[in-house]
Chain A
Amino acid sequence: MSERREDIGVVDKREVDTMVHQELRSGNWFVPAADIYETPEQIVLVMDMPGVCFDCAHVSVVDDELVVTGHVTHGEDQDDYVLYREYDVGHYHRHFGLPPTINRDKIEASMADGVLSVIMPKVEEFKPRRIPITVGE
């Protein structure tokens, strides 16, 4: 086996705790790896959900949480004989607390190449604004 390691590492998929999420008992469920970053205008959530096509991902706001679910449709053929396996294929589920700075009505989500992006614009009053300075008397 001639393998050499580069600067990207292997991170095992994290399974969803089915003691907490009992509705997810059937099938494999994983917690998608997520990047969260903030700009002055918005908060962006980016998640790896390989095997999920764009119409099999669901994003919803429930109370003060953003709930993300993705059903895997690509990644394993049921008819194939698996000879060797280093990862399991499964669905994805994760909750995120929503801060009050987010405008819940303007949240948008898009999916491409197994990556789900959720763009959450801030409420106007939390966006940076310039305060005009008038000439003092």
Chain B
Amino acid sequence: MVGYRRGGDWDVRSELARLERDANRRTRRTARPVTRRGGRVFPSIIISATDEELVVRAEVPGMSLEDFDISVSGDTLTIQGSRVTGEGLDGGWYHRRERESGGFSRAIRLAAEVEGNRAEATYVAGVLTVLLPLKKAAKPREIPVKVVEG
């Protein structure tokens, strides 16, 4: 889904540089940010990165942090919850109803290794933000090469 390389070592910096070049090229062409409207699972997300962490954001207004069930398992972030609208209706009747309500569950596969046990979530002004610290790159392993006489 995320469309970047999986498997092997994932070099955040070079990948980011490539994405930035790509994004700049697209922006020049269309004068619009790169947006995929293909996401058909609620909630819609934005994934961004800093040197230290992956940041997953979602706009889910009218909730509280306790209403979310957020977990990280391996390379998959799962966000579940249920949004209720119309609780103040008592005895009234609708003229217009555009706000979505119901349960949701979304699993997001992350393209970088993260430390799930250090993940943090905040919820401010209806925006859920999950911070996933990137695993420090494993030390390159040296493989001794035997010289075979012959």
A residues lining the B interface (CB < 8 Å) = 1-12, 33-40, 43-44, 46, 48-53, 73-77, 79-89, 112-115, 117
Known contacts A1-B109, A35-B97: does B126 contact A6 (CB below 8 Å)?
no
Question: Closest chain A residue to B61 by CB distance?
Answer: A114
Interface size on B, residues (CB 8 A): 66
Cross-chain contact B59 with A88 (CB below 8 angstroms)? no
Q: Which of B90, B91, B105 contacts A6, CB < 8 Å?
A: B105
Main SS class of interface, B: loop
Q: How far is the CB of A16 from chain B (nearest CB, A)?
A: 15
Instruction: How many A-B residue pairs have C-beta atoms within 8 angstroms? Tell me.
Output: 182
Contact of A46 among B4, B16, B85 (CB under 8 A): B85
Known: A1-B1, A6-B42, A77-B55. A12 touches B37 (CB 8 A): yes
The 6 closest A-B pairs by CB, nearest first: A114-B126, A114-B61, A50-B126, A80-B48, A8-B102, A50-B59
> B106 to chain A: which residues have CB within 8 Å?
3
